[in-house]
Amino acid sequence: MFLSLNTKKLFFKYFYSYKAKFFLLLAFIFLILILRYIDLEKYISFDKIELYQYYLINFVSQNYFLSVLIYLFVFSISIVLFIPIAVIMNLIAGLLFGLFWGTVYVNIATVFGSAAAFLMFRYLLGDFINKKYSSRLKYFDENIKKNGASYLLSMQLFPATPVFLINTLSGLTQISLWTFIWTTSIGILPGSLVYVFIGQQFLKMESTKDILSWPIILVIVLLSLLSLLPILLSRYFNNK
């Protein structure tokens, strides 16, 4: 029996849809394996910043626009591929670009990388993960439906919440991309300011022990106090 024209169209539509997802997933895994093989974390570390800080500063002064592009690319890709170098990249931003522009570039890279990860989980892996872990995702999904952007923002404000976890869980809900973007941009801002400020102080440090200077201790204390905000917001939502 020959298939009808509409049936054929549906078949090819789903075939190419899943085929595209398969190749995108394959490319994603391939990139992760390459970056794990070259061990990117080994080259972007606290010790490496201390060792090459003057070379990096000189390179940026001569190639500012290129430096910004490289920074944005590396940081964004690290977020998409779950490479845990966010703190180091914040410090580098402060060292190379100063407090204001460093914070701006951190925000752009984080938002771009997080949005890419969000879309990847929503359209590439969403069906598979939702079917397999629907019961485990129920609590997060219910909170998003109940409190929406406010709940997501409280998670973003909490410094200890892994970025990849927020990106993954958000992509599996019905929250809009725009809501995810603006909550990410605002939510990461306080923590980014602290880390970028520490990076800016790098040149004033004679050794890594100086990282515990009073100005830095003060901003760390402020960051710790900030971490209480999500708890207060959570209690507020639960009492509504």
Helix (H) or strand (E) holding 94: helix 86-123
**CA atoms of 80 and 120, how far apart (whole Å):** 9
65 domain-assigned: yes
Domain total in the chain: 1
The pLDDT score that the predictor gives to residue 31 is 63
pLDDT tens column, 151-163 = 788 778 776 677 8
Its domain, for residue 117, covers 40-238
31 domain-assigned: no
21 domain-assigned: no
Cα distances from 99 to residues 32, 33, 199, in angstroms, run 31, 34, 8
Q: What is the mean pLDDT of the chain?
A: 75
147 domain-assigned: yes
Q: Which two tokens stand for residue 50?
A: 């201390």
The pLDDT score that the predictor gives to residue 182 is 92
Q: pTM of the full predicted structure? A: 0.75
Mark the ranges of the chain whose per-residue pLDDT is less than 50.
1-3, 5, 8, 11-12, 14-16
The pLDDT score that the predictor gives to residue 18 is 56
7 domain-assigned: no
The pLDDT score that the predictor gives to residue 197 is 87
How buried is 76 (Cβ within 10 angstroms: 0-12 exposed, 13-18 middle, 19+ buried)? buried
98 domain-assigned: yes
74 domain-assigned: yes
**CA atoms of 169 and 117, how far apart (whole Å):** 10
State the DSSP string of 174-230: S--HHHHHHHHHHHTHHHHHHHHHHHHGGGG-SSGGGGG-HHHHHHHHHHHHHTTHH
14 domain-assigned: no
